[in-house]
Chain A
Amino acid sequence: MTSHDEPEPQHGAAGEHLPEHRSDGALTPADDPFADPGLPPHEHRRQDIDERAAKRSERTVALLFTVSILATIGFIASYVAIPIDRIVYIWPFGHVSGLNFSLGLTLGLALFCIGAGAVHWARTLMSDVETPDERHPIEATPEVRAHVFAEFRKGAAESQIGRRKLVRNTMLGAVAVVPLAGVVLLRDLGPLPHDKLRHTKWKAGSLIINESTMQPLRPEDITVGSLTQAMPEGMSPHDEDFHVEIAKAAVMLVRLQPDDIKDAKSAEWGHEGILCYSKICTHIGCPATLYEQQTHHALCPCHQSTFDLSDGARVLFGPAGHALPQLRITVNDDGFLEARGDFDEPPGPSFWERG
């Protein structure tokens, strides 16, 4: 009854191990030119017809699983035996942590062998006979549908939801109102920043502290072509709000030949060629301190916004929206640099109300 004859597979000496002849073709009219040819005849694996090959596969799979067990034991042994600070030279990796390397190698081997064993088992020993599963219509039978609708109508009538409109309407109202509880809780997304973004720790008379030495800076400390990272006095890295405040108050100081400063206001806000700029990029707040001392350009490492420090930190390139704010500085009676006040615009990234 099959559409085509299946010849008995010729497997030579191993032929007697063949399973029963399978009939898996579909029944088709002889005159259909687009007849479904059905599945191709099943091909047997060596392991299906040769018991010795199957035994070999079994041993291979068992070996892989055994290696995995040993690797796991090796992992535990490495963890116990190898000191965490042992550095060993392993070609071609170089000087690596012996513990890291050993843990990675043994755990990797353990997982790989489980996977390889499973794959080899599935490919050589598990049944590989193709089993078609015919599609069937998803729609339920008319009897089932009629039964379900009847049950639904009966339930609706029993609940009296159609008759008692007061119950129905108040229920809908309750369900509609209950999400407001969650909406009200959104008020706790905050607190609102108020004017925090507009003020920093800088105020008139703040000494300018060198971040490297934590000492106040004097004008003669800052040579032409140098770059100094600084922060206002009265801040300690151990303060609770240090990171919040330094994110607004961090500055960099550069010194230019006074003739090189193109912006008159910028020169006036500095001191004898020393300019003090916020180093927080006005795009999204990375520290824009890649300073090129010959071009006087400062770059931001995140998106390459480029500021011309000789021209009021004007934006030359990149996504930054406005110039880096400049801090007005002067020298106090003791010869130290100090701020003449806070930034006159909010430092850092733009925000809606910034203007």
Chain B
Amino acid sequence: MKKLSARRRHPLAALVVLLLALAATGGLYAAFAPAGEAQADNSAQSLAIEEGRQLYDVGCSSCHGSNGQGGSDGPSLVGVGAASVDFQVATGRMPLQQPGPQAPAKPAVYTQAEIDQLAAFIASLGPGPAVPDPDVYDPAQGDVARGGELFRSNCSQCHNFTGEGGALTHGKEAPNLYNVEPRHIYEAMLTGPQNMPSFPDTTLTEQDKRDIIAWLDEVNTSDSAQPGGFALGGYGPVGEGLFAWTIGIGALIAVAVWIGARSTKARKS
């Protein structure tokens, strides 16, 4: 101790103390600061948000406002979540080409990478449903029969019994779900795009949604079997009856007329 106290007035003492204090501060910072990997993730995420913000400013802000707060031409996007952006933009519904009863599906304008950036930006505005993992919407893991029951009690009133779609009010319609990507079906149930009600996980669990996707994958894709042949749009007995009474009976009448119109006589007059 004596040695230490003897040198406390040394001209370099202040410098040593300063160095020790700096080392302690740096060490403490290194110990408590977030890990380096998280640091790198954050920068990539913020980069995506920044890229998404630029895309948003060009393509979306005229209707949805400069900060996604919404306006007279478009709803607020705060809290809609990445799943909503992925659904609306990847199915081509957004950006809207022209105002109308509802936004129709069309070829997507943005690439998936750009959509992910837009989604990252919108997700940064407020908490909302994220884009689901592929496992969550894998139709192979769903129960087709149970999905059919759930579809009939929750979805069929608008989308018809095998997802053929149907009319709503004032030019709106529930679209046909033919060949729709499982991911987009899942996101639509989760977020409730446009006039479709949402089915949050609290009332329709992940497994329920997966079952519904499995049902649609079974009955309404280009690979679905139609055991009876012509499905006639799958619209049910009205369409089938119309076909039978007009095309079917019409063909029978035409054949009868054709038989009667042809003469069997040897001398054609």
Which A residues have a C-beta under 8 Å from some C-beta of B?
A: 9, 11, 43-50, 87, 93-97, 100-101, 104, 119, 123-124, 128, 210-213, 217, 220-223, 225-229, 254, 287, 289-295, 297, 299, 301, 304, 306, 317
User: Given A101-B229, A212-B150, A290-B158: A95 and B224 within 8 A (CB)?
Assistant: yes
- Residues A292 and B168 in contact, CB atoms below 8 Å apart: yes
Determine the distance from Cα of A308 to Cα of B182 in the docked complex, in whole angstroms: 32
Q: How far is B263's CA from A128's CA once the two chains are assembled, in angstroms?
A: 12
**Is B72 engaged at the interface, CB distance under 8 Å to the other chain?**
no
Instruction: Tell me which of A9, A220, A229, A289 contacts B202 (CB under 8 A).
Output: A220
Q: Is the CB of A97 within 8 A of B225?
A: yes
Interface residues of B, Cβ cutoff 8 Å to A: 150, 153-154, 157-158, 166, 168-169, 172, 174, 192, 194-200, 202-205, 208, 223-230, 259, 264-267, 269
Closest Cβ of chain B to A264, distance in Å, is 24
Given the complex, which residues of B lie within 8 Å of A222, measured CB to CB? 202-203
* Bound Cα distance A128, B264 (Å): 10
B264 proximity list for chain A (CB < 8 A): 45-47, 123-124, 128
Complex: chain A residue closest to B224, CB-CB:
A95
Given known pairs A94-B226, A100-B229, A292-B169, the reply for A45 and B202 (CB within 8 Å) is no
B169 contacts A306, C-beta separation under 8 Å: yes
Q: Which B residues are CB-close (under 8 A) to A44? A: 265-267
The CA of A101 and the CA of B183, in the complex, are separated in Å by 34
Minimum CB–CB distance for B66 against chain A, Å: 23
Contact A97 B227 (CB under 8 A): yes
**B198 touching A226 by the CB < 8 A rule?**
yes
Assess the B200–A213 pair: CB atoms within 8 A.
no
Pick the contact of A213: B205, B265, B269 (CB < 8 A): B205
Q: In the complex, which residues of chain B have a beta carbon less than 8 angstroms from the beta carbon of A50?
A: 266
The contact of B197 among A49, A119, A212, A293, by CB within 8 Å, is A293
Across the interface, which residues of A come within 8 angstroms of B266, CB to CB? Answer: 11, 43-46, 48-50
B228 x A212 contact (CB < 8 A): no
B192 near A225 with CB under 8 A, answer yes
8 new A-B contacts, CB < 8 A, other than A97-B225, A223-B198, are A221-B202, A222-B203, A223-B200, A227-B154, A290-B158, A293-B196, A294-B195, A317-B169
For A212, give its contact among B192, B194, B196, B208 (CB under 8 Å). B208
In the complex with contacts A95-B224, A297-B169, A227-B153 CB distance below 8 A: no
Query: Which one of A96, A210, A295 contacts B169 once the chains associate, using CB atoms below 8 Å?
Result: A295
Supposing A93-B230, A124-B264, A301-B166 touch, asked if A294 and B194 sit within 8 A by C-beta, the answer is: yes
Total A-B residue contacts, Cβ distance less than 8 Å: 116
CB <8 Å contact, A93 and B229: yes
Pairwise interchain contact B226-A229, C-beta atoms closer than 8 A:
no
**Chain B neighbourhood of A95, CB < 8 A:** 223-226
With A49-B266, A293-B195, A301-B157 as contacts: A226 and B200 at CB distance below 8 Å: yes
In the complex the two chains form, is A289's CB within 8 Å of B265's CB?
no
A sample of 24 inter-chain contacts (CB < 8 A) reads A11-B266, A43-B265, A44-B266, A45-B265, A45-B266, A50-B266, A87-B227, A95-B224, A97-B225, A100-B228, A101-B229, A123-B259, A211-B153, A213-B205, A221-B200, A223-B198, A225-B192, A225-B198, A290-B157, A292-B195, A293-B196, A301-B158, A306-B169, A317-B169
For B208, the chain A residues whose CB sits under 8 A away are 212-213
> What chain A residues lie within 8 Å of B174 (beta carbons)?
290
Q: B157, A96: Cβ atoms under 8 Å?
A: no
Contact A100 B172 (CB under 8 A): no
Which of B168, B208, B227 has the most chain A CB atoms closer than 10 A to its own CB?
B227
> Across the two chains, which residue of chain A brings its CB closest to B167?
A304
Query: Which residues of A are found within 8 Å of B196, using beta-carbon distances?
Result: 293
Given A96-B226, A223-B198, A292-B195, the answer on whether A299 and B203 have CB atoms closer than 8 Å is no
B101 to chain A minimum Cβ distance, whole angstroms, is 11
**B168 and A93 contacting across the interface, CB-CB below 8 Å:** no
- Chain B residues with CB below 8 A from A212, complex form: 150, 153-154, 203-205, 208
Contact of B153 among A43, A128, A229 (CB under 8 A): A229
Picked from B204, B223, B227, the residue with its CB within 8 Å of the CB of A100 is B227
Q: How far is the CB of B186 from chain A (nearest CB, A)?
A: 15
Give every chain A residue within 8 A of B192 (Cβ-Cβ). 225-226, 293
CB of B219, distance to nearest CB on chain A (Å): 12
Contact B197–A225 (Cβ < 8 Å): yes
Q: Whole-angstrom distance between the alpha carbons of A114 and B204 in the complex? A: 56
Tell me whether B224 and A226 are in contact (CB under 8 A): no
Residue of B nearest to A227 (CB): B197
The answer on a CB contact under 8 Å between A228 and B158 is: no
Which of A45, A123, A217, A290 touches B203 (beta carbons < 8 Å)?
A: A217
Question: How many Å lie between the Cα of A290 and that of B172 in the bound state?
Answer: 12
Complex contacts, B228 vs chain A, CB 8 Å: 96-97, 100
A221 and B199 alpha carbons, distance in the complex (Å): 10
Q: Decide if A292 touches B150 in the complex (CB within 8 Å).
A: no
A322 to B247, CA, bound (A): 41
